[in-house]
Amino acid sequence: MGQETTNRYYQRIEEKAKDLPWYVGEYIDKRKRKLSPASLLNYCHDYLIFFSWILAEGIFEGKRTDIPLEVLQRLTRQQAEDFLSFLQFQLNNSELTVNRKLSSLKSLFHYLQNIAETTDLEPYISRNVMAKVELNAIKEDQETLANRMEGKILRGEEYETFRQFVAHDYGLINKDNKKLLNFHQKNRERDTAIVSLILGSGIRLSEVVGLNVDDIDFRKYTVRVIRKGNKEQYVYFSEQAMLDLKEYLSIRVSRYSLEKSNKILFIAASMGPKGTTRRLTSRSIEKLVEKYATAFGKPALSVHKLRHSFATRYQLENNDIPKLRRQLGHSSVQTTMIYTHLTNNEMQEAVNNMDRTKDPIDETDDHK
């Protein structure tokens, strides 16, 4: 999502927030650092529907912006259930959509009860009716999960395009921002190696965080990881990941002012006393991927989606679920089977291409 689009989203969010009670506007402002602008705009739509329903039901008489906190605190569980019924049977929302809108309300009410506080250090509300309401139990099949995931992962040429973006293009588009440019120039080899390793192996975020230099086998193209259940496993990674790891390792000691005895693979930029170094945390890696993904125009791309991207590509090219299951460290083959659904479209296209590229001579021979 470009900066211009992001600004438009925030402008619409501000416009919607003006039609909501002050405490909702406060909550939305607090969530700007945590949620994407698209998600925040959806929250605003959900809250407009909810507070309009309160007026339509006669629970409060007056303007939507004037609905006080006391109204929320006095809502009964039956009234909350009535609102969900309104969504499902009058607005014809699907169970998934009802769940999403209920989740946004749960998040708001949680903030009002457990986070926000008055000048007297009291919570905005002492009773949270939304905590008493359960989400619809929906069991999605693997194909549904796959379809939802499909637009949020890298496909085809995007693998290399995104890697190149992390390695070079991010710096180019921020050449006029000295702070961003300097930070990118210092960390681009490290960040590229992280992204390339996940895209080239599918290892988990926790596994990336825990890596040491000695865990990399440069001859066998494997990395030693500690999987769930504290199980040690050697996982293969791609040649491109190896190249990016070698480039990072060639500058790692000098760039981050490390002692040669320091074996942490992915180092955080120095903070505090000179010479202080630390391992990149899970949140730090999540944030750096989010930063590049947003600038790349694919804000839904996360560390976990990079893992999904690897798995989808592997299954498409190899069609070997048992090996993919081992590579990803899944305990159940059913978890791995989702990637067979993700690659169905590509497989169908490949079959269709066979007809379009068929040699005319072969067609003549078929009629003999």
Expressed as residue numbers, the domain containing 132 is 3-138
Angle at the Cα of 122 (from 118 to 124), degrees rounded to 5? 65
Tell me: do 61 and 193 sit in the same domain: no
Which amino acid makes up residue 46?
D
Indicate whether 126 and 175 sit together in one domain. Answer: no
Residues labelled as active-site residues: 204, 228, 304, 307, 330, 339
Full-prediction pTM beyond 0.75? no
> Are 109 and 164 members of one domain?
no
Distance CA 291, CA 289 (A): 5
Within-domain flag for 366: no
Total number of residues shown for the chain: 368
| Residue type, position 260, single letter | K
The C-alpha angle with vertex 76 and arms to 71 and 81, in degrees rounded to 5, equals 115
Q: What contacts 24+ positions apart, CB below 8 Å, involve 288-296?
A: 288/187, 288/191, 288/194, 289/194, 289/195, 292/162, 292/165, 292/166, 292/170, 292/191, 292/195, 294/1, 295/165, 295/170, 295/173, 295/174, 296/162, 296/165
Both 119 and 253 in a single domain?
Answer: no
CA distance 238 to 196: 9
Looking at the structure, do residues 56 and 109 belong to the same domain, yes or no?
Answer: yes
| CATH assignment of the domain containing 254 | 1.10.443.10
CA–CA distance, 116 with 114 (Å, rounded to integer): 6
Q: Do residues 118 and 180 both lie within one domain? A: no
- How many independent structural domains does the chain possess? 2
Distance, CA of 366 to CA of 221 (rounded, Å): 46
Pairwise CA distance, residues 268 & 289, whole Å: 14
Q: Among 103, 138, 173, where does a domain finish?
A: 138
Residue 91 lies in a domain: yes
pLDDT at 208: 94
Strands lying side by side in the sheet with 216-217: 216-217, 222-227, 231-236
Pair 27, 21: CB distance under 8 Å:
no
Verify that 45 and 182 share a domain, yes or no. no
Say whether both 311 and 260 belong to one domain: yes
pLDDT, position 195: 97
Q: Which of 138, 169, 189 is the last residue of a domain?
A: 138
Say if 181 falls within a structural domain.
Answer: yes
Give the list of residues 6+ apart from residue 309 with CB closer than 8 angstroms, or none.
153, 154, 155, 159, 199
Helix (H, G, I), strand (E, B) or coil at 226: strand
Per-residue pLDDT tens over the stretch 74-96: 999 999 999 999 998 999 888 87
184: in domain: yes
101 and 217 in a single domain? The answer is no
Q: In sequence order, what are the residues at sequence separation of 6 or more whose Cβ sits closer than 8 angstroms to the Cβ of residue 82?
A: 57
Are the C-beta atoms of residues 134 and 165 closer than 8 Å to each other?
no
Q: What is the pLDDT of residue 357?
A: 47
- Output the six-digit token pair for 29: 């402002």
User: Is 143 domain-assigned?
Assistant: no
Is residue 146 situated within a structural domain? no
pLDDT in tens, the chain (368 residues): 446 667 888 899 999 999 999 999 999 999 887 777 878 888 999 999 999 999 999 999 999 999 999 999 999 999 999 999 999 899 988 887 888 899 999 999 999 999 999 999 999 999 999 999 887 665 554 454 444 555 578 877 888 999 999 999 999 999 999 999 999 999 999 999 999 999 999 999 989 999 999 999 999 999 999 887 678 899 999 999 999 999 999 999 999 989 889 999 999 976 555 556 788 999 999 999 999 999 998 888 899 899 988 888 888 788 788 888 888 888 777 777 766 655 555 555 555 555 544 444 344 344 43
State whether 256 and 321 are in the same domain.
Answer: yes
How far is it, in rounded angstroms, from Cα 147 to Cα 179? Answer: 39
Same domain, 192 and 74: no
Q: What pLDDT, on the 0 to 100 scale, is given for residue 235?
A: 93
Q: How far is Cα 152 from Cα 290, in angstroms, rounded to an integer?
A: 13
Whether 58 is in a domain gets the answer yes
DSSP H or E segment with residue 216: strand 216-217
In this prediction, residue 352 carries a pLDDT of 57
Are 204 and 107 within one domain?
no
Q: Which of 207, 314, 188 is nearest to 255 (CA)?
A: 188
Domain assignment of residue 17, yes or no: yes
Residues 21-61 pLDDT 10s: 999 999 999 988 777 787 888 899 999 999 999 999 999 99
